Amino acid sequence: MAGMPSIAVTGSSGLIGSALVLALRAEGNRVVRLVRHEPSRPDEARWDPSGRAQELTAAAIDGCDAVVHLAGAGVGDRRWTAHYKRVLRDSRVLGTAAIAAAIASLDTPPRTLVCGSAIGWYGDTADRAVDETAPRGSGFLADLAVEWEESARPAEAAGVRTVFARTGLVVARGGGAWGRLFPIFRAGLGGRLGDGRQYWSAISLRDEVAALRFLLDEAHGLSGPVNLTGPEPVTNREVTRVMGRVLRRPAVFAVPAPVLKVALGEFSEDVLGSQRVLPRRLLDAGFTFEHPTVEDAVRAALG
């Protein structure tokens, strides 16, 4: 990644962020991990995701060539109470606004901002395949993603190349929604969710990290929304078959939609919803997936 020796990363302790930091360092980049606590390591710098101390965040990213902003509370970590929905919103919208305002305040801002986003922007697409040209969807996650991206506008207005990485389901053992699936299927308790006809748009962790590095590279010239999903979305029923086949376990159980709604509350609408999202702009820019299918991604996650 010539010409980009210094990259600031928020959310660097998360599933994607920690893997990205390792990959960037392996390429010889200097990585500044933005943290909310007092720095305890030489590679850490403190920032304020609430936006109340803009000068703190500005100082943390001053001199960096790029910023990758991945911080945000986990969507599936807790039941969606009114309080937790506020946590989800504030952790994304306020944090992104703080980063964007700090970038805009610098005399020499970073050249690139890669801002995390989500395919929730499209809402429930049923069996209709969508790419970055599709209109916004409806529902809590769609509204959240729209507000999330809009909060980065100050950076765009300052002339910073801003990319919105609309990520799908990341296939990994170490965290995220898929990380919870592996032990269930290993125990022989896996099965489809609801009727299983809903589409899942997934991406392996290695491809997610490679795609973020691809977006950082100015030579590709990408800005605006870019879908980070595998090129072959499949139904939950097919995911169930793949998990059973790869793990060599029966996958005959099914969780009926009413049970999911009782267990998960409003979040069940996201689990049962269908998102058939294609990475059109990545493919058109020449990105090559190492794990193009869900089975490839599952096998990669198992190492």
Please check the confidence at residue 285 and state whether its pLDDT lies above 60: yes
> Do the Cβ atoms of 192 and 240 come closer than 8 Å?
yes
Question: What are the domain boundaries of the chain?
Answer: 6-170+201-229+278-284
pTM of the model: 0.94
> Do the Cβ atoms of 108 and 160 come closer than 8 Å?
no
> Do the Cβ atoms of 194 and 256 come closer than 8 Å?
yes
Which has the closest alpha carbon to 217: 17, 81, 29, 16? 29
Q: Provide the pLDDT for residue 1.
A: 41
Q: Which residue has the tokens 């720095």?
A: 39
Task: Write down the H helix ranges in the chain.
Answer: 15-26, 54-61, 82-105, 140-150, 153-157, 176-186, 205-216, 236-247, 257-264, 268-272, 280-284, 294-301
Please check the confidence at residue 265 and state whether its pLDDT lies above 80: no
Q: What is the mean pLDDT of the chain?
A: 93
Q: Provide the pLDDT for residue 258.
A: 78
CATH code reported for the domain at 6-170+201-229+278-284: 3.40.50.720
Q: Provide the pLDDT for residue 264.
A: 61
Q: The tokens of 213 are what?
A: 């590095």
Higher pLDDT, 212 or 264: 212
Of the chain, the percentage scoring pLDDT greater than 90 comes to 83
Among 118-132, 136-150, 181-195, the range scoring the smallest mean pLDDT is 181-195
pLDDT classification of 4: cutoffs 50, 70, 90: very low
Q: Provide the pLDDT for residue 112.
A: 98
Mean pLDDT of 264-276: 78
Output b/e per residue, 90-125; b: 16+ Cβ within 10 A: ebbbbbbbbbbbbbbbbeebbbbbbbbbbbbbbbbb
Mean pLDDT of 85-107: 96
Q: Provide the pLDDT for residue 114.
A: 98
Which has the closest alpha carbon to 141: 287, 272, 42, 9? 272
Please check the confidence at residue 184 and state whether its pLDDT lies above 80: yes
pLDDT classification of 262: cutoffs 50, 70, 90: low
Mean pLDDT of 45-65: 95
Q: How far is Cα 277 from Cα 227, in angstroms, rounded to an integer?
A: 8
Among 35-44, 52-61, 263-272, the range scoring the smallest mean pLDDT is 263-272
pLDDT classification of 91: cutoffs 50, 70, 90: very high
Q: Each residue of 213-258: pLDDT tens digit?
A: 999 999 999 999 999 999 999 999 999 999 999 999 998 888 877 7
Q: The tokens of 27 are what?
A: 């390429």
Q: Provide the pLDDT for residue 244.
A: 95
pLDDT classification of 79: cutoffs 50, 70, 90: confident
